[in-house]
Amino acid sequence: MKQSPLRPRELMAVAIALSLRGLRGGRGGPFGAVVALNGIIVGRGNNQVLAGNDPTAHAEVVAIRAACRKLGTFHLEACVLYTSCEPCPMCLAAAYWARVDAIVFANSRADAAEIGFGDAFLYGELIRPPESRSLPTSRLMAKQASAAFRAWESLASKTHYGPVVRP
| Distance in angstroms (rounded) separating the CA atoms of residues 52 and 149 | 33
Active-site residue, selected from the candidate residues 10, 60, 77, 153? 60
- pLDDT, one tens digit per residue, over 2-55 is 789 999 999 999 999 999 999 999 999 999 999 999 999 999 999 999 999 999
Task: Taking the CA atoms of 99, 101, 106 and 110 in sequence, report the sign of the dihedral they define.
Answer: positive
CA distances from 95 to 144, 164, 166 (A): 31, 10, 13
User: Residue 119: beta bridge partners?
Assistant: none
Does the annotation mark 131 as catalytic? no
What does pTM read for this prediction? 0.94
